[in-house]
Structures are given as C-alpha cells and as structure tokens.
Structure 1
C-alpha cells in the first residue's frame, strides 16, 4: 500500500472510473448478499451430518451456533477495517497494513490467499468429477471428468466484475438450497439409508460423541463445520466493489441467519435418518435410494461450478489489478486486458486441476484448508485488526481507558487469536494425521488415477 492509496475514498474511486467501460464499484448490498449466499450456501453443508455423527448431535449443534457467532463478529471487524481504509482491494492489502506495513506481510498473505482459493477450486474439480462418475457409473476416466469441470469453470469465470457474477450467484444459492432440502426430505422418506452398502442395522443417532472418539476425528469434524462458515478471506474483495460499503452488514446478517437455520436443520435431519454408520461426506452418499441420491446431487451442479468460479475470480483480481493498476486495460475492453484476464484464470484452473488429482479426498481436504488458512483469515487477522483500530482510536492503553467495554473487547479478541492458533496447531496436526491414516488404510486412490470416486449405486 502507498501513501497515495490512502487518499482514495469510495467517492473518488467511483469518480475515477465513471467514464470507464468496465466499472468495479457497482455492487448493491443485495448483489453482495447474493455473492455471500453463493459462497456460504454451498456443497460443504452436506458435511454437517458427518460432523454431527462424530461430535454427537448436541455438541455439533452448539458448535454450529458458536462458530457462526464468531464468524459474524470477525466479519464485522473486517467491514469496520475496510470502512476505515477504502483503498483496500483485498485481504492481502489488509495483511500488509496489520503487520507494520511490511512488504513481506503482503507477500506472505498473498501466497496463503492464492493457495486457499486454488485449493477451493481444486475441491470443486474433484467434486464435479465425483458427480459425473456417480451419474454415468464411471463412463470416463476420473482425470477426464475433472478436466471437463475445470474447462467449464474457466469459461464461467470470464466475467470481470462481481456485479456481473451476482446473477449467477443467486442462481447457484437457490439450487443449492433446493439440493440440500431434497436430500433432507429423501433421507426422511426412504426405506433405508446407504445405497449399495451392506446392512449395518438401523441408523444410530448419538447425542454425544461415541466412547473412544479420537482427537483427530473430533478435530476434523469440527474443522468441517468451521470451514463452511469461515469465508472472511473474500469479504474485502466484495466490499471493494460495493457502491455503498456501509450497507454491508445487511448482507452479512441475512446470510448468517440463513446459515444457522439451514446448516443446523439439514445436518440434524439427514443425520437423524442416516445415522452414524451410514454417513459419508458429502452426505449424498448416505441416501439409500440411488434415484434420490442422483436427483438431490444434480441440483448441486450450479454451486459445484460457481463457487470455484467465485474464488477463481477473486484470485484473478488480485493478480490482474497488480499488473494493470492505473492502465487503460483495467477499465476498457482491450485485447491485452481480456487476454491477460483469461490467461490468469486459466493458470488458476490448471493448478486447481493438478491439486485435485494429487489430493483425491473430500473431508480431509476441507480440514487441511481450514487449519492452514482459516486460522489466519478466519481469526488471527481480525483479532489483530481489532487491536490496531482501537489503538488508533484510544491510544496504546485502549483497553484500560475504555473501562469494562475496553477490557471485554481486549480479552475477547485475545480469545479470537487463540482460537486461530488452535486451528493452526491442533487442526493441522489432526488433518495431517487423518490423511496419513487414510493412506495407511488404503482409503484414497493414487495421484492422477482413473479410479472411480463416485458414490456407490446399484
């Protein structure tokens, strides 16, 4: 960040791009809400039944509400920070500002930012291949299906502004809602869970964790819940394209309330009818009737494509804005601008495809991403941001001069940072150990394998 950047108010930014063919400060809070819904109302909802089967229904529901509240609080900190610094373009600018305005902090944040986004793209290549394998009974090599999903996603990533993507986001969120609702209904009406599974008796539902549940299993289940809620990494990018950033909390509250209701209900209902012994992540594989499985899974197609598209677009902005900031390629339809945009997106999808083939698993990939990246982007950054803002307002002893409110904020944000450290240490250990155990038990295929990763259906 430079000194001149700090003078760029929202009004000045909109003034500067008023004559451009491509305008970026164009999103209303409703369109931003659509982007948030598409990010949070996603395939990862279907990992909640698995998490509840490990943690027990009561602790699982409690953690769902607690994590949602923590993410809401830290997201409001992100918003407050962006209001104070309208020159911020993405979370990497914030990373540099939080850590003494050092360039190494920008680079470190940038590396984590791009890796996080590319891992999410990879996850959607993997899941897209899983869907196609399930629907076609493995008619094509899994590598081929993954490549098809990557190419389709690249094409859908080409729009340059979030304003353009907002319509697709609405479409994605709506069909995801239909998908998970159908899965919950089908779980309730079918005769027996587990298509193609051997009979494991009637579904067993646990109120608390089963005796002997390991730290690794419990931590991974907790990470699956946390990953679905934590998405603060994209918020600065969304706020940077809002016409009126002060309206952002409206979008945030709307999506948070919807999340808590939908995640809890779908997770609890599907778990109640499929039980501990028939659970898969995602939970579509827990359905007993292959028709039910395929119908509900099919409504997930828009989010399988779009959420990867959204993160690819955020990554491409990060690179493109740095390459062409201040040039006509940013705001005009130039050959160089569009060719560069398409090439940057293509590079992210090629890397995502490679990662998808090297790491062919779902649940552990969620947990590993959560522990490595969400520790910073979900908690540590925003605890530090709170301290920086309050110090700027009230001086170095801000907690003391503000009385009880100051001490409460100080202690709570220390806890926020400690939760991030727990993610980084205990979460990473649990994720890596789970992956090691999975390979020892031969639960995963090899790298670049043609093996069928679809759900088993008769």
Structure 2
C-alpha cells in the first residue's frame, strides 16, 4: 500500500498514536530478547539534544559576527521556532504511519501517489545515510581537534583521528537506544551545557582586547547566506526523529521531546552565541573555542569531549540501523541475539565508521563537503518536506484537496515551508560551493591523509 489508510480524524490533530500498533517496526517486545521500545519522552529528548546541540553550536558566534548581533539573534530564534513547527508535522506523520522507521520509509509513502514510491525511498534513504556518515566524520574531526588542543599536538593528527574513531565505534555498539545510548546522552547533554558555560566564563574573564561588536554588519548576499547557513543547519536533525520515535514507549509523547529539544537548543544557542560574540568580537573563530586563551580552551574542549563522542556514536548508530532494519525487518535477527544479527550489526557499524574516517582524513575539503550534504538533504529533512507530509495526510485522511483547501492557513504555512526549504537548499549549495572554489584558488585546501 502506498500509504496507511485509516478512518478520518479531526483534522486539527490527525494523529492518533497507539502504544502498540501492529504496523510498528518493533512490536511485542516482551517476547523478544532485544527490546527496542524502552524510551521515555525524557530519554528521547536527551538523545535529540545530543544529536543536534553539538559541534554546530560552536559555529554560531562567528555567524553572528558576520551579519551582526541583531539579525544574527533573530535568525537563530526564527530557525528554532520554525524547527519546532516542522517537528510537529513530522511527528504527526509518524503517528499516522506507525510503520515509518526512517526518512526512506516516509519517502515511499509520500511519493507513491506519484508512482515513484521506490525512487523516493532510495533517494531519502541514501541522503540519510550520507548525512549520518558525514556526521560521524565531522564529530571525529572535532574530537581530533579537541585532543590536539589538550595534548598540544603531541602526535600526528591522523593518530588522534584514528583513536577517536575507534572509541566512537565502541560507544555505538548497543543495538537499541535504551541499552546504554540514552544514559550516554544524558552525560553528553550535561557536557555541552557545562563546556559552553565554561567557554562563556573564559571569554568574559579574558575577552579579546580591542574587540569590535556591531548591531548589524553590511554584507553581500553570498557572505551573509554563508554565515546564516550555520544557524539554519544547527537545527538539522529531524531526519532521525522517525527512528527515535520508533523506540519510544509512547510515540505520541514525542511532541514533549520536541518541545524540550527546541526550547533548550534555541535558548542556549542564543545565550552562547551572543555572549561569546560580545566578549570575543568580530574576529571570533569557528569553532569558537579556538578564540579562547590556552587554559580556557583546554578546559572547554575537555568538558566538551563526551558530547562529541556520543553525538558521533549516535550518527554511526543511525546510519547502521537504517540498513539493518531494512535487511531484517520482520526477521528474528532484528529482535533476537543471533550470530547473524550481531555479525551484520557490527559489520555495518564498522563500515559506517570507516567511511567517516576516510572522508574526514582523505577528503581535504571535508568541512565543505559536510556543508554541501547538509544543504542538499538537511534543508529538506528538517524544513521542506514537513509541509509535504502535512499535505499528504490531510489529503488522504480527509476529503482530498477539499480538506487541504479548507485549512488554507496551514496550507500556506506548509507551502512556505517547502519554499524556504528549497531556498536553503539552493542558497546553501551556492554559498558553500563558491566558498570551496575560493578556498582552492587561495590554496587554503590541504592534502589528504596528512598530519
């Protein structure tokens, strides 16, 4: 079936989540050795925060420095509110379609009425895996940078990267979120909170001499869009919501998790970005910890390590789980401790981790590549596609396009979501690719597999 047909519901709240729906990927856990559906909404919120509020946080002070204090702050808040709205749309879609486990499943449902459901599944699945693997590489590079700062560069950079990649692999091994990863995520959330708090204190104690702070800064479209891409993509994590919700005890409680995520992330993004910019000035680097004095930078990086580690492990876990569930859905290897199941699981984790390592160290323009992948896919996963999901369900669970037209304010909001998602995709790709070309022209891009 191209979509899950069910009785009409009140269109203000279409979703009617069930705690045990036979269409779910993981059902009847009590009779299985591996129990997936163990997450409370609080645990889900911690995982969401860990996966989203991580390295991107450290790019926000520089984004504000480029566009100015006032527009930078407004953009961060707007993106947070927008991300909360799209979170609700994605969660409603998941509750209406319990069988959806990832963006690939959602793509099949969304594009089946057009006769290209299989194409939608493969494209969105590939984008999810690619984005997750670049996330693994990005977290590995952050871990490498942190270890280099703490040890003052005592070893080759590739050695640090290799060590960090191996540790990330070990943390990602649990098959379910409840088997360790939810506890690690609590530690990771405390880590990012304390580390950024220490960084703000450090910037206040030892501010940049002669710093320049402006309310607004003149910019070309290219430089401004390149800067605001960071706050926009700092909320990019919705593509993993379906997978997290699939392991919740009560999926409808995911909206509580979304509220916790967006309130925390938006509030802390604004506080950290504004305070850091005000004390470090227009010359603040990205990541912003690099602009701190040596002592405060070491303290901040050291405290930030758990967050980087767990975020990388989550990306690794997500990329492997999408393929694993697709291979063994409905099979005993998914829910029992079988040799085949564990062998394939470990192999998928190792491949994803190895790909992240190779990309991070073998692609000299990897930081730009991460931005390109995020612009191409996260712009749609986090923002654009949410509107299409609402259109689909309102049409098929209501009276067709009549139901859509009757709710014209939501229709317009969802249309705006699609348009803005496309704008971020095109604008982000343009800005990052142009920046990459300029970096190559200036010789700023290094060489692969070097220290």
**Superposition TM-score, scaled by structure 1 size:** 0.90
Unaligned 5+ segments in structure 1 are: 194-200, 451-458
User: Per-residue CA shift, 1:340-368, capped at 9, x if unaligned?
Assistant: 11110000011001110134568645532
**How far does residue 237 in structure 1 lie from its aligned partner after superposition?**
0.4
Structure 2 partner of 1:220: 226
Structure 1, 167-176 or 32-41: larger mean CA deviation: 32-41
CA deviation profile, 1:127-150 (whole Å, cap 9, x unmatched) = 111112222222222122111111
Contact 1:281–1:363 (CA under 8 A) maintained in structure 2? no
Residues 1:291 and 2:295 are matched in the alignment:
yes
Deviations 1:244-274 (A, max 9, x none): 1111111111121111211101100000011
Residue of structure 1 equivalent to 2:415: 414
Structure 2 counterpart of 1:44: 56
Q: Corresponding residue for 2:255?
A: 249
Q: Paired residue for 1:87, among 76, 93, 99?
A: 99
For residue 255 of structure 1, give the secondary structure of its aligned residue in structure 2.
Answer: helix
Secondary structure of the structure 1 residue equivalent to 2:433: helix
Alpha-carbon offset, residue 10 of structure 1: 4.4
Paired position in structure 1 for 2:305:
301
After TM superposition, list the pairs within 5 Å mapping 1:43-122 onto structure 2: 43-100=55-112, 102-122=117-137
CA contact (8 A) 2:60 2:269 kept: yes
Q: Is the 8 A contact 1:203 1:276 kept in 2?
A: yes
Distance across 1 between alignment mates of 2:370 and 2:275: 22
Secondary structure of 2:232's aligned partner: helix
Distance 1:445 1:132 in 2: 20
1:168 aligns with 2:184: yes
Mapping 1:40-439, distance limit 5 Å: 40-100=52-112, 102-164=117-179, 165-190=181-206, 192-193=207-208, 202-209=210-217, 211=218, 213-277=219-283, 279-287=284-292, 289-360=293-364, 364-365=368-369, 367-392=371-396, 393-400=398-405, 402=406, 406-439=407-440
Give secondary structure in 1 for the equivalent of 2:234: helix
Q: Is the 8 A contact 2:55 2:142 kept in 1?
A: no
Query: Counterparts of 1:7-46 in structure 2 under 5 Å?
Result: 10-11=19-20, 12=22, 13=24, 16-46=28-58
Question: 1:72, 1:9 → 2: CA distance?
Answer: 22
CA shift at 1:41, angstroms?
2.5
Alignment RMSD: 2.1
Alpha-carbon contact 1:183-1:292 (below 8 Å) kept: yes
Deviation at 1:215, TM superposition (A): 2.4
Q: How many residues align?
A: 434
What is aligned with 1:455?
A: none
Distance 1:15 1:264, change over 3 A: closer
* 1:37–1:173 contact (8 Å) kept in structure 2: yes
Structure 2 residue matching 1:300: 3-state secondary structure: helix
How big is each residue's C-alpha offset from its partner over 1:53-103, in whole Å with a ceiling of 9 and x where there is no partner?
Answer: 011110011011111111100110011011111111111100111112611
- 1:192-251 per-residue CA deviation (whole Å, 9 max, x = no partner) reads 43xxxxxxx611012112x3x232221121111011112110000011111111111111
